[in-house]
């Protein structure tokens, strides 16, 4: 009788050890999956690339400011051109005279600058200024001004500046 009880005890102990091993393996799999999903979430939050300042584009677009400045005075305290992946961004820091202009006139000026930069850069071009206003291709199509651009520019040539194919 003792022998049968030992076999039953060993069988039960073996089954419990098997269940415990399966539980440990399942917990390890779940832990690895949780770490993997957390790493993927962090990688999605990171920007695709670091924006880089484009001084040669800033120099090339400088002439686009001449027409509006001659008519309305100095309106922008500073500006910067940045590039990230296939997006080129013109950031404008407006001075007080720009804020005093009518909204339509501000839109004409920002659109004029956007068109000038669009001729220079490949990919999408975005202009951001203060007071907050964004200008992009979708906004340009919806803007009903009958094509008015009081400061039409001749084509801007970049002497010796690199053109952006796919980076």
Domain that holds residue 10: 1-46
Phi first, then psi: give them for residue 88, nearest 5 degrees.
-110, 130
Angle subtended at Cα 155 by Cα 66 and Cα 93, rounded to the nearest 5 degrees: 35
How many separate domains does the chain show?
Answer: 2
Query: DSSP state, 49?
Result: S
Statement to judge: residues 90 and 122 lie in one domain: yes
162 within domain boundaries: no
Same domain, 35 and 58: no
Core vs surface per residue 65-100: b (16+ CB within 10 A) or e: bebbeeeeeebbeebebbbeeebbbbebebeeebee
Are residues 36 and 61 located together in one domain of the fold? no
56-108 pLDDT tens trace: 888 888 888 888 888 888 888 888 888 888 888 888 888 888 878 887 888 88
Per-residue pLDDT band for 30 (boundaries 50, 70, 90) equals very high
Q: Is residue 152 assigned to a domain? A: no
Q: Is the predicted pLDDT of residue 153 greater than 60, yes or no?
A: no
On whether residue 81 sits in a domain, the answer given is: yes
């Amino acid at each position: 009788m003792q022998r049968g009880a030992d076999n039953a005890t060993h069988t039960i102990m073996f089954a419990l050890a098997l269940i415990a091993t399966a539980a440990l393996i399942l917990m390890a799999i779940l832990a690895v999956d949780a770490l993997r999903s957390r790493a993927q979430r962090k990688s999605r939050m990171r920007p695709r690339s670091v924006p880089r300042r484009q001084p040669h584009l800033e120099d090339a677009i400088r002439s686009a400011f001449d027409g509006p400045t001659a008519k309305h005075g100095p309106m922008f305290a500073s500006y910067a051109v940045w590039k990230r992946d296939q997006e080129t961004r013109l950031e404008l820091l407006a001075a007080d005279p720009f804020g005093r202009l009518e909204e339509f006139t501000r839109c004409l000026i920002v659109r004029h600058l956007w068109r000038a930069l669009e001729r220079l850069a490949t990919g999408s071009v975005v202009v951001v200024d203060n007071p907050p206003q964004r200008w992009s291709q979708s906004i340009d199509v919806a803007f009903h001004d009958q094509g008015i651009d009081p400061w039409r520019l001749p084509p801007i040539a970049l002497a010796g500046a690199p053109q952006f194919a796919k980076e």
